C-alpha cells in the first residue's frame, strides 16, 4: 500500500492514480530549480507590486501632503507616478508570465489567478496611461484658468479623476491581497 493510499484511508485504484498524478505534478512544481525560481519570481512580483501600492498610498503620499505645501506635494506625487505605474506594469507582466510558465510546465492551471492578474494589469495600465495623464492635464489647465468659475469647474473634474484613480488603486490592492491569499494556500513553511 502506498503512502498516498494510507493517507486517504484505502482509496480506490482510480483515486490512487489521480492522486499519484497530482502528487507527481506537485513534486515537479516545487522541486525543480526552474520551478522554484519561477515560483520565487511570481511571489516576488506580487510582493513588490503590493508593497509599492501600500507604501505609496499609506506612507509616501500622506507624508508629502502633510509635510509640504499642497502645490509642492502635488508636484512630488506627480513625479513619482510614472515610476509607480512602471513598477505595476513590470510586476504584473512578470507575475503573469511566471504563472503561465508554471501552468504550462505542470499542467496545473489557475484560471482565477490568471483572471485576477489580468484585471490588476488592465486597471493599472488604464490608470497609468489614461487617468494619470488626464489628471496632470487638468492640473495644468487649473493653473491657466482665466477665472475662478473655470478653475472651480476644473477642480471638480480633477477631484472626480482623482477619486477614480483612488478607486482603481484600492481595487488593485484588494485583488493583489486576494492573490497573495490564494498563493499562500499552497505554501508550506
User: Is residue 12 included in any domain, yes or no?
Assistant: no
Residue 70 to residue 54: CA distance in whole angstroms: 21
How many structural domains does the chain have? 1
Going by C-alpha positions, the residue among 60, 46, 79, 52 that lies closest to residue 178 is: 46
Range of the domain at 167: 31-184
Phi, psi of 89 (to 5 degrees): -60, -50
- Is residue 20 situated within a structural domain? no
Q: What percent of the chain has pLDDT over 70?
A: 83
- Per-residue pLDDT reduced to its tens digit, 84-121: 999 999 999 999 999 999 888 888 889 999 999 999 99
Q: Residue 6's pLDDT is what?
A: 43
Distance (Å, whole) CA 34 – CA 30: 9
In a domain, 124, yes or no: yes
pTM for the full predicted model: 0.81
Measuring CA to CA, which residue among 48, 84, 50 is closest to residue 173?
A: 50
Span between the terminal Cα atoms of the chain, in Å: 28
Amino acid at each position: 500500500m502506498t503512502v498516498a493510499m494510507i493517507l486517504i484511508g484505502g482509496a480506490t485504484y482510480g483515486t490512487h492514480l489521480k492522486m499519484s498524478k497530482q502528487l507527481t505534478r506537485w513534486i515537479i512544481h516545487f522541486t525543480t530549480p526552474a520551478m522554484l525560481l519561477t515560483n520565487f519570481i511570481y511571489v516576488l512580483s506580487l510582493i513588490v507590486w503590493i508593497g509599492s501600492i501600500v507604501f505609496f498610498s499609506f506612507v509616501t503620499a500622506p507624508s508629502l501632503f502633510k509635510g509640504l505645501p499642497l502645490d509642492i506635494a502635488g508636484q512630488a506625487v506627480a513625479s513619482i507616478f510614472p515610476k509607480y505605474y512602471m513598477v505595476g506594469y513590470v510586476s504584473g507582466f512578470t507575475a503573469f508570465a511566471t504563472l503561465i510558465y508554471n501552468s504550462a510546465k505542470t499542467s496545473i492551471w489557475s484560471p482565477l489567478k490568471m483572471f485576477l492578474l489580468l484585471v490588476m494589469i488592465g486597471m493599472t495600465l488604464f490608470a497609468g496611461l489614461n487617468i494619470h495623464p488626464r489628471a496632470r492635464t487638468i492640473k495644468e489647465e487649473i493653473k491657466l484658468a482665466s477665472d475662478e468659475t473655470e478653475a472651480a469647474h476644473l477642480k471638480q473634474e480633477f477631484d472626480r479623476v482623482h477619486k477614480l484613480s483612488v478607486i482603481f488603486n484600492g481595487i488593485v490592492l484588494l485583488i493583489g491581497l486576494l492573490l497573495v491569499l490564494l498563493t499562500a494556500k499552497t505554501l508550506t513553511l
